[in-house]
Amino acid sequence: MEPVVILQDGVRGDGDALRWAAAHARLVGTNVEVHRPRDDFRAQLVVVGYRGPRTSALGLGDHVLPLLTTTGCDTVVVRSAPAAVDAAHHHITALVSGGPGDGRVRRHAADFARRRGAALRVLHAAPRPLVRCGFEADHSHVLARASATLNGFPHHAVLIHAQPHEAIARCTDTDLVVVGSGDSHESGTVTKAALHHAPCPVLVVHQPVLGAHHGRVVVPAPRRPVRAQG
């Protein structure tokens, strides 16, 4: 079994990420490996720490956003929220957008809930439009489809009339928010909102990449501005 890999660069957030990674590795029966940015390694899950509001990319660090957008490996971004890091809330939240990645989001969230003995919440956020004709039916269908594909797994479906970032900020009683990797416009909006506003760790679930070497991760170098010559 591939290891759980924590990506460290020796700054704020690494301690919480290491604690989260170690607890998850025990649950799934695998090892933890520590790697540096730009390493080439194999992993079933990559764990990185939130860097705080004063770092680049709203606390995600130079290497985190490139990692999330280029790798096919599921990634957890761990914020410094002690109760959530220690799984004290006993809730897992799957944030669905109605996009093509929702199925994997639901399955991963249900797997985490099962392993941890936690309750599963399936959440869909949509602001009320100016013209409400068909609004409830359209968005309730997203949750109905989620319930149908969970095959009887116990869960609570919630439709919140709010922007995704507003709904995510309210998830103060959850240990983990699970989102898709942002392959469509809908899921991309939800993913960015979760990474920047969730008060707990966030699992970003990727779609399988055809032809990719399973489990192999190459962390890309961050983009740097190029100074004009002359």
In order, the DSSP letters of 16-76 are HHHHHHHHHHHHHT--EEEE-TT-EEE-SEEEEE---TTSHHHHT-TTHHHHHHH--S-EE
What is residue 105's predicted lDDT score, i.e. its pLDDT?
92
Dihedral sign, Cα of residue 172, residue 174, residue 176, residue 182? negative
Q: Note the helical H segments in 35-183.
A: 56-59, 64-70, 82-85, 102-116, 135-149, 164-169
| Beta pairing partners, 49 | 78
What is residue 151's predicted lDDT score, i.e. its pLDDT?
80
What is residue 24's predicted lDDT score, i.e. its pLDDT?
96
What is residue 79's predicted lDDT score, i.e. its pLDDT?
83
What is residue 215's predicted lDDT score, i.e. its pLDDT?
55
What is residue 207's predicted lDDT score, i.e. its pLDDT?
74
What is residue 125's predicted lDDT score, i.e. its pLDDT?
87
Greatest extent of the chain over all pairs of C-alpha atoms, in Å: 66
Residues of the chain whose pLDDT is less than 70? 9-13, 38-39, 51-72, 129-139, 182-188, 208-230
What is residue 223's predicted lDDT score, i.e. its pLDDT?
40
Closest CA to 37 of 9, 69, 71, 72: 9
What is residue 225's predicted lDDT score, i.e. its pLDDT?
38
Task: Give CA–CA dist 97/185, Å, rounded.
Answer: 9
Task: Give CA–CA dist 39/59, Å, rounded.
Answer: 21
- 10 Å Cβ neighbour count for 182? 22
Dihedral sign, Cα of residue 110, residue 116, residue 121, residue 127? negative
Residue environment code for 145-161, b if the CB has 16+ CB neighbours within 10 A, otherwise e: ebeeebeebebebebbe
Give residue 112's Cα distance to chain centre: 12
Q: Are strands 176-180 and 75-78 parallel, antiparallel or unpaired?
A: unpaired
135-149 and 102-116 are packed helices; what angle lies between their axes, rounded to 10 degrees? Answer: 50
Helix, strand and coil percent figures for the chain, each rounded to 5: 35, 20, 45
Say if residues 40 and 5 touch (Cβ distance below 8 Å).
no
What is residue 192's predicted lDDT score, i.e. its pLDDT?
79
What domains, with CATH codes, occur in the chain?
4-218 (3.40.50.12370)
